[in-house]
């Protein structure tokens, strides 16, 4: 049991009609690990996140998280709640993932009441603690999303996901829409939270520099298939597959010149 990975995905496949979005994908994340799935539009990376969180059912293959199978839809509210307590997700766009009529504190409290219980006072303390962890002050926690900046909203979304005390947090392009200076704050925050709580990350991203910053391992996907996998540093420093090499060569850096494909 102790040796079982936190997340174990085996031969995962998803078809939409005749289109195969995810084709025989397998990977594992150890307790406390951090894995990135890298790919461009249409590579199937977000479809995998949706299958792990239960928003889509796989065509075939298995998903095990925290020792429980989640390849099929949950049977009943109790199992759905248990799954929610194990894996949480932060989406790309904090403008559409928060309820516009609910303050951050209320959103976090709702998750606490559902997943952790406790008295109103205990929950209030925990909301303040989570707020402090992600760098939101009391005024920001009690403001409606429209009064917050994109970075502040994404902090609320992260605090809300952490409130369930999941063992795995899926970050689906969670920093892609943020300004550079705000993105740095959120990346530092994610590194701190992992160091403090031992949480695992599954980062879905197209941004190789972000991937290098917060993950240990990476799989590279193209057209639904895994084309390369390995330690993040090694894959980025010495990519083996020609597609990974193309991705790596396309990142603007000092001295970089754009190249025409054909």
Partner 1 sequence: MSDAFLELQQVTVRLPISGELRTVLHDVSFRIAPGEAVGLVGESGSGKSMTARAVARLLPPGAESSGTVLFAGNDVAALKGAALRAFRAEVAVVFQDPRAHINPVRTIGDFMTEALRTNHDVSRADAAAKAVSLLAEVGIADGQRRLEQHPHELSGGLLQRVMIATALLTEPKLLLADEPTTALDVTTQSDVMAILDELRRERGMSMLFITHDLELAGAVCDRTAVMYAGQLVEERTSSALHDDPLHPYTAGLVGARPRIDGDVVRLSAIPGRPRSAFEAPAGCAFNDRCVHVVDDCVASRPALEPLDGGSVRCHRAVELRGRLQEGAAHG
Contact residues for partner 1 (CB under 8 A)?
40-41, 149-152, 179-185, 187-188, 191, 206-210, 212-213, 236-237, 246-254, 256-262
201, β-bridge pairs: 34, 169
Kindly state the smallest distance separating residue 61's Cβ from partner 1, in Å: 26
For partner 1, give the closer residue by CB, 66 or 98.
98
Task: Retrieve residue 23's tokens.
Answer: 């084709």
Residue 206: name the closest of 25, 7, 9, 44 by CA: 44
For partner 1, give the closer residue by CB, 69 or 234.
234
Kindly state the smallest distance separating residue 142's Cβ from partner 1, in Å: 18
Kindly state the smallest distance separating residue 257's Cβ from partner 1, in Å: 6
For partner 1, give the closer residue by CB, 114 or 195.
195
Kindly state the smallest distance separating residue 60's Cβ from partner 1, in Å: 28
Alpha-carbon span 102 to 207, nearest angstrom: 31
**DSSP state string for 169-183:** EEEESTTTTS-HHHH
Greatest extent of the chain over all pairs of C-alpha atoms, in Å: 63
Look-up: residue for tokens 């293959």? 61
Residue 193: name the closest of 110, 116, 137, 132 by CA: 132
For partner 1, give the closer residue by CB, 58 or 104.
104
For partner 1, give the closer residue by CB, 17 or 254.
254
Count of positions (residues) in the chain: 262
Kindly state the smallest distance separating residue 18's Cβ from partner 1, in Å: 19
């Amino acid at each position: 049991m102790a040796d079982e990975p936190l997340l174990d995905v085996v031969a995962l496949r998803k078809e939409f009609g005749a289109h195969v979005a995810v084709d025989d994908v397998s990977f594992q994340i150890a307790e406390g690990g951090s894995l990135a799935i890298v790919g461009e539009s249409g590579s199937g990376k977000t479809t995998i996140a949706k299958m792990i969180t239960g928003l889509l059912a796989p065509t075939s293959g298995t998903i095990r998280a925290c020792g429980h199978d989640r390849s099929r839809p949950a049977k009943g509210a109790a199992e759905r709640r248990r799954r929610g307590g194990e894996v949480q997700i932060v989406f790309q766009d904090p403008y559409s993932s928060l309820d516009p009529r609910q303050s951050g504190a209320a959103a976090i409290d709702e998750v606490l009441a559902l997943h952790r219980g406790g008295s109103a006072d205990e929950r209030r303390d925990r909301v303040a603690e989570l707020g402090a962890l992600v760098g939101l002050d009391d005024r920001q926690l009690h403001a409606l999303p429209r009064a917050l900046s994109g970075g502040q909203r994404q902090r609320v979304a992260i605090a809300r996901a952490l409130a369930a005390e999941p063992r795995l947090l899926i970050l689906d392009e969670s920093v892609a829409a943020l300004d550079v200076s705000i993105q740095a704050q959120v990346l530092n925050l994610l590194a701190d939270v992992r160091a403090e709580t031992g949480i695992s990350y599954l980062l879905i991203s197209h941004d190789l520099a972000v991937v290098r910053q917060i993950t240990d391992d990476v799989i590279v996907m193209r057209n639904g298939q895994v084309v390369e996998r390995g330690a993040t540093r090694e894959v980025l420093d010495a990519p083996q597959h020609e597609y990974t090499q193309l991705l790596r060569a396309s990142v603007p850096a000092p001295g970089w010149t754009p190249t025409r494909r054909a």
